[in-house]
Chain A
Amino acid sequence: MKNIAIIFKRELASYFATPVAYVFIVIFLVLSGALTFHIGAFFERGQADLAPFFNFHPWLYLFLVPAISMRLWAEERKSGNIELLLTLPISMIEAVIGKFLAAWLFTAIALFLTFPLWITVNYLGSPDNGVIFAAYIGSLLMAGGFLAIGACISATTKNQVIAFIISVVICFAFLLSGFSIVLDFFRGWAPQYVVDAIASLSFLTHFSSISKGVIDLRDIVYFASLIAVWLYANAVVIEMKKAS
């Protein structure tokens, strides 16, 4: 536990030691604002909610979260630091969790900085703040899912660009599996339970139900187990690839 905290602290500080943190936060805030107001038609809808804001989060995360996760292990392997890190009296799983949590808290900070939108919508009308709160929780869980995938992919390569592209593709697959286009493709020939299984893997299905204000235990279990499985895979991949 103490070791996780030490790794976590070092990692988080490293985001802010380079321009990475500031670039990410600024881009995230600008894009989420632009999408909400222009494409999401926040004002024109005339509704006091943040649906136009949260609807874009899966797509925003699709590109921005792999940009955070790509360096997690690829850089560690490229610089040779992994040899230092894993010969310190720290276990692999502590290193994996510490790094993941730092990246997750970092995205949480970026997400938190969108609070002016929440204030704005309260100023303009009287939204259901419970729904907005739930959507924030859902968004954070989804970011965690994207990050866990990205962390694992980052461990497979020394090249951050490759880590980024593969992470985007895999995250895209996890998003799309809830879309009717994809599901229709399977519906024609696959049994219903296969279609349901594919749909239930989707980030969108789980995120949209949380963002409607329903914090269902199943959705939380989904994201928690998704994160756990990918982090476990992350540790396995490092173990396999660290010699090369």
Chain B
Amino acid sequence: MIEIENLVKKFGPFTAVDGISFKVEAGQVLGFLGPNGAGKSTTMKMITGFLAPTSGKISVCGHAVNGDARAAKRQMGYLPEGAPAYGEMTPAQFLQFIADVRGLSGSHRTERIATVIEQLHLDRVINQPIETLSKGFKRRVGLAQAILHDPKVLIMDEPTDGLDPNQKHEVRELIKGMAQDKIVVISTHILSEVDAVCTRAIIITNGRIVADETPQELIARSPSGKLDDVFREITLAEHLS
């Protein structure tokens, strides 16, 4: 379970995240929505322990992120925005490195590496330096890295950005397939994605939560039945107020 209480992040005078609280249970796929600069990425960076919150509490599977960071980080897989990876390494070397860091060993290690290579169809490029790969493959290498240790909590910042429609579909199926016993948090501004994979949607604007319900409930708010219209209505209303 992820528990977040009154999370605040300030960068100098600018408040990026302004008192966010929510809980996510295992089995939920939470979609983080919001305009650019709303605080989605900043929130994810705090959950994963990259940034320290100005105030507030985050606990992941019972481990406080700002207390026992290492225990919390072990429970999580994270795909940062833009799917960074060491460009001079090949996907094979990169996954070996991540397996080292994650402490995977023996037959379990071999099996996990083989599984993610298969799940993300990396076999064709497995020995090419990552910097020479297309955007879609780079993204898949980033996803492979995040799920390698079969984490209880999976946090992904725009996981399908830069993928073609077929690849998007595959990644969504992958997320859905893993979701039963995990917590999955994704951020996106592709609204159709929320409808396709998420069981719950949180809309953030100006660092505050303005909606927290199922995608179906959100859609039901709009007379047109379109998520885009609901999104625009909620985020613009907040912007003007």
Q: Which residues of A contact B (CB under 8 A)?
A: 3, 6, 9-10, 13-14, 17-18, 79-81, 83-84, 86-91, 242-243
- Interface size range of chain B in the complex: 20 to 34
Closest partner residue, chain A, to B101 (CB atom): A88
Do residues A80 and B82 form an inter-chain contact, with CB atoms below 8 A?
yes
Q: Which residues of B contact A17 (CB under 8 A)?
A: 88-89, 129
Q: What string of 1s and 0s marks CB contacts (under 8 Å) between B53-76 and chain A?
A: 000000000000000011001101
State whether A6 touches B97 (Cβ < 8 A). yes
Q: Are B70's CB and A87's CB within 8 A? A: no
A18: chain B residues at CB < 8 Å are: 88
- CB of B22 within 8 A of chain A? no
Which residues of B come within 8 Å of A, CB atoms? 11, 45, 48-51, 69-70, 73-74, 76, 78, 80-82, 84-89, 93, 97-98, 100-102, 129, 145
B85 lies within 8 A of A81 (CB): yes
- Beta-carbon contact of B86 and A10 below 8 Å: yes
Asked if B86 and A89 sit within 8 Å, CB to CB, the answer is no
Q: Give A243 to B81 CA distance when docked, in angstroms.
A: 13
Q: What B residues does A3 contact at CB under 8 A? A: 101
User: Can you report 11 residue pairs joining A to B where beta carbons are below 8 Å apart?
Assistant: A13-B89, A14-B89, A17-B88, A17-B89, A80-B81, A83-B50, A83-B84, A84-B145, A89-B101, A91-B69, A242-B50
Write out the residue numbers on chain A whose beta carbons fall within 8 Å of the beta carbon of B73. Answer: 87-89
Query: What A residues does B74 contact at CB under 8 A?
Result: 89
Q: Which chain B residues border A91 with CB–CB below 8 Å? A: 69-70
Other than A87-B80, A89-B102, give 14 A-B pairs with Cβ distance below 8 A.
Answer: A6-B100, A9-B100, A14-B88, A17-B88, A79-B87, A80-B81, A80-B84, A81-B86, A83-B80, A84-B78, A84-B85, A86-B49, A89-B101, A91-B70
Cβ-defined contact, A14 with B51, below 8 A: no
Contact B97 A87 (CB under 8 A): no
A86 to B97, CA, bound (A): 14
* Residues of A with C-beta under 8 A to B98: 88
Cα separation A208 to B145 with both chains bound (whole Å): 48
Task: List the A side residues contacting B49 at CB < 8 Å.
Answer: 86-87
Contact B82 A86 (CB under 8 A): no
Distance (Å) between the CB of A65 and the closest chain B CB?
21
Of the candidates B11, B87, B100, which one forms a contact with A243 in the assembled complex, judged by CB atoms under 8 Å apart?
B11
Q: Which residue of A lies closest to B45 (CB)?
A: A83
Collect the chain B residues with CB atoms within 8 Å of residue A89's CB.
70, 73-74, 101-102
